[in-house]
Chains A and B, each alone.
Chain A
Amino acid sequence: MEVQTLIQISGLEIHRGNRLIISDFDFELSEGEVVTLVGPNGCGKTTLLESSAGMHTISSGSIYWRDDLSGMKLVRDSDGRRNPLPPMGLTLQKNGISGEETVQERMKTVLTVSGCDFDDIKVQELLDCWGLKHRSSDRVSQLSGGLARRLSVLSGLAPALLSKKSRVVLLDEPSEGLDKSAKLLLINWLRALISRGHGIIVATHDSDLISIADRILKFSNGKEVNLSSQPQPESNFIIPNSTNNVPIKKVSSLFNWAYRMEKRNPIDTINRLIPAILALLLSHALVSEDEISIVGTDFFSALILLPSFISVVIPPALISRYAEENCGRWWSAVIGPKFRLSSSIIGSSILLPIPLIYLSWFILSDNLASVDDSVVYWLWLPCLVMYFVAIAASSLHLLVSDLRRSGASVVSLLLLVLVWPFIELVDSLEMIILNGMSWGFSLEEPIFMMFLAGTISLLVWIVSVYLPEA
């Protein structure tokens, strides 16, 4: 049977900082081989491995992956084109797993995003092989470093293990933190997987792993790469059987994952809610009916919308979840170019604007001398637009989180632009309070002001989501 190419890299040039890490590099990974990347610290092993998965901007060259449907498919090139990866296994240098996930959830997520058919029994079987079955319901944060690393390595191998079609597995320092028995298991699985036709790239310093490679890419003096081959015996090691391939669910898996994390530990909701409620209570305590009658309805409208606005501009907890163990980088590699778009929606405050605006209304409207009851029926409209503001705020936070030291950057300077949609919303609510709801589309109509607020927010969102991917 003809051996097919799984990854084809040509003319690759990568810079990290001002350093040229890899220059004019050509490489092919074929079915049924393990290739190890070897070299001193900082020589570019991890960069090459991650670039193979399209995770880095490249200065020149192109990276193609074999796709089940379309043959060789462009994953990334130096002109900025980027496409999602075909199903694959990936273990990063850090585990890439959030501490909130349970062990079996992690396995299920990995298998879902790589289009593998599975049931609970299969998941337990896989976990059992790696001595993790008894911890399957535990959160990853409760595992020891070694067990968490086992799970991370298993997550990288499982998509290939269960797939009947040839898959690529990328492993970065997989044996770091593994004990002797786990390392032996890893070596046996690697040899068994390639006997099924999968292709594996391993970045490592481990001499045991290097010794089982079919080819060794040795980095020296920074830019030179030498390739050597060594014959390997056939593996007789028995690993679990593969299953059928099913449709891949990447984006919906990310939504489910984020929802589960928040449900388990609602830090996003609480972080947003507390400042908003404080603002509301302070407004109620400090602003009296007399003061509102003096400063006007626009001030009152601003007070109604302020708690909700505060809640939407707070940094999403999703960013800190992504930062944990490089979890976001794993998702970014898996989802591909749609990662930023999906994250900006997932990370925004979906639930809070509506209850907060209604709550503010019921608490603060006591301070208004005469108020039309019909206003309450139309409050949902500013709530809806506030959701657009939330997405825009979330996308700006994500843009800044791309920086390596994102905590050292002042994202609030960029959030200033969202003052405008807020002001337009305040205007629209003021109009509804003063004149009632109307459906005309002119400057003096609330619908127009809400349309403007929504459009500004959408523009900010589009610019901050699409510009970095362009």
Chain B
Amino acid sequence: MKYYGWGLTCIGGAGVLLTAIMGYTYAPLVQSPPFRSPEAYRILFWHVPFAWTSFLSFCLLFIGAISWFLKRKEWGWNLFCTGSDLGLLFGLGVVISGPIWGSAEWGVPWDWGDLRLNTFGLLTAVALFIVLSRKAQPDGIETRDTLSTVGLFGFALVPITAVATTVYQKRHPSVVIAESSETGLDPKMLEVLILGVISFWILMAGLSLLTYISYKMEYELRKLLDKIDEEVVH
């Protein structure tokens, strides 16, 4: 499994790099106007795959939290840890690349009317909280229960954010991203975007395997340490 993990990570990583290169060289430039900052659009070749992959990672986190609550098995907790690590990684990708693009295109880094940006912003904050707390807290059922609760809480935020953002957007018309029903997405752009999405997914699969394995090994190591502790005490 470890070799699969490394293999997929390398392939995915190469694909991600290739996406960036093709985004700069192969994908055509958009028109200005309507785009205010045509060059900046190229960030979408990473921004969109980041968003889709982070959503998958948050799903892993959610499944892990539910599994821990229902089954109380180590694999559920490992899944939760893996999901939070990757959710943080790819979520940060979204909330960093989004404002960069937003600053260039809209003139503002954050749009309170953008549902996706806000949802990912909050979910990434939750993932960051979980990752930092996991490192800082002593491992135990109580800690796991509380952090899993926070994980589920993160998912409860999604509909809350959706309603709040939709209402906000209706009252304050959001910054309009240039779209044209006549032209749609240029086929070359679509090719690069699909390459990006597939590469990010492969990267995520590889990193998931590696992270999961490392948590499993960490668990085995802790068990051995506990055994030594017991021998020392008794």
Contacts and interface: CB of A to CB of B under 8 A. Distances in A.
Given A18-B226, A463-B153, 15 more contacts: A17-B138, A18-B139, A18-B219, A18-B222, A19-B226, A40-B233, A57-B142, A403-B137, A404-B138, A410-B129, A414-B150, A420-B164, A464-B149, A467-B152, A468-B146
B96 interface: no
27 contacts: A18-B219, A18-B222, A40-B234, A42-B233, A57-B145, A59-B72, A221-B234, A400-B150, A402-B142, A403-B143, A404-B138, A404-B143, A408-B133, A409-B129, A409-B132, A413-B128, A414-B125, A414-B126, A414-B150, A416-B125, A417-B160, A423-B164, A449-B167, A452-B163, A467-B149, A467-B152, A468-B149
A295 B147 CA distance: 41
Interface in A387-431: 399-400, 402-405, 408-411, 413-414, 416-417, 420, 423-424, 427
Interface in A429-470: 443-444, 449, 452, 456, 459-460, 463-464, 467-468, 470
B138 A405 contact: yes
A59 B141 contact: yes
Contact of B136 (A57, A405, A456): A405
Given A403-B137, A464-B153, A467-B153, A423 B112 contact: yes
A260 interface: no
Interface in B157-174: 157, 160-161, 163-164, 167-168, 170-171
Contact of B137 (A42, A56, A404, A444): A404
Q: Which 10 A-B pairs have the closest CB atoms?
A: A408-B136, A420-B164, A413-B129, A413-B125, A17-B140, A409-B133, A463-B156, A402-B146, A467-B149, A468-B149
Contacts, number: 124
Contact of B140 (A400, A404, A409, A459): A404
B230 interface: yes
Contacts of B140: 15-18, 404
A429 to B, nearest CB: 13
Contacts of B142: 56-57, 402-404
A467 B151 CA distance: 11
Contacts of B157: 417
B11 to A, nearest CB: 33
A463 B112 CA distance: 23
Nearest to A448: B167
Do most interface residues of chain B lie in helix, strand or loop, or is the interface mixed? helix
B194 interface: no
A408 B146 CA distance: 14
B233 A41 contact: yes
B223 interface: yes
A11 interface: no
B155 to A, nearest CB: 9
A403 B156 contact: no
A18 B77 CA distance: 12
A275 interface: no
A19 B139 CA distance: 10
B184 to A, nearest CB: 32
Interface of B: 69, 72, 112, 121-122, 125-126, 128-129, 132-133, 136-143, 145-147, 149-150, 152-153, 156-157, 160-161, 163-164, 167-168, 170-171, 219, 222-223, 226, 229-230, 233-234
Contact of A443 (B132, B138, B167): B167
Given A408-B133, A414-B129, A443-B167, A456 B160 contact: yes
Nearest to B124: A413
A420 B160 contact: yes
A427 B226 CA distance: 56
> Of A408, A413, A460, which is in contact with the most chain B CB atoms at under 10 Å from its CB?
A413
Contact of A222 (B72, B141, B230): B230
Nearest to A455: B163
A405 B137 contact: yes
B120 to A, nearest CB: 12
Contacts of B161: 417, 420
Contacts of B133: 400, 403, 408-410
B93 to A, nearest CB: 17
A409 B137 CA distance: 8
B75 to A, nearest CB: 14
Nearest to B74: A18
Contacts of B141: 15-17, 57, 59
A222 B157 CA distance: 42
> Of A57, A420, A443, which is in contact with the most chain B CB atoms at under 10 Å from its CB?
A420
B171 A427 contact: yes
A423 B156 contact: no
B146 A403 contact: yes
A36 to B, nearest CB: 20
Contacts of B168: 423-424, 427
Interface in A308-348: none
Contacts of B129: 409-411, 413-414
Contacts of B125: 413-414, 416
A340 to B, nearest CB: 11
B224 to A, nearest CB: 11
A220 B69 CA distance: 31
Contacts of A444: 171
A427 B160 CA distance: 17
A17 B136 contact: no
Contacts of A18: 139-140, 219, 222-223, 226
Contacts of B121: 416
B164 A452 contact: yes
A424 B160 contact: no
Given A17-B140, A409-B133, A456 B153 contact: no
> Of A19, A222, A463, A467, which is in contact with the most chain B CB atoms at under 10 Å from its CB?
A467
Given A410-B129, A417-B157, A459-B156, A424 B164 contact: yes
Nearest to A467: B149
A464 B150 CA distance: 8
Contacts of B72: 59
Contact of A424 (B152, B156, B167, B226): B167
B124 to A, nearest CB: 9
A175 to B, nearest CB: 22
Given A59-B141, A414-B126, A460-B160, A409 B136 contact: yes
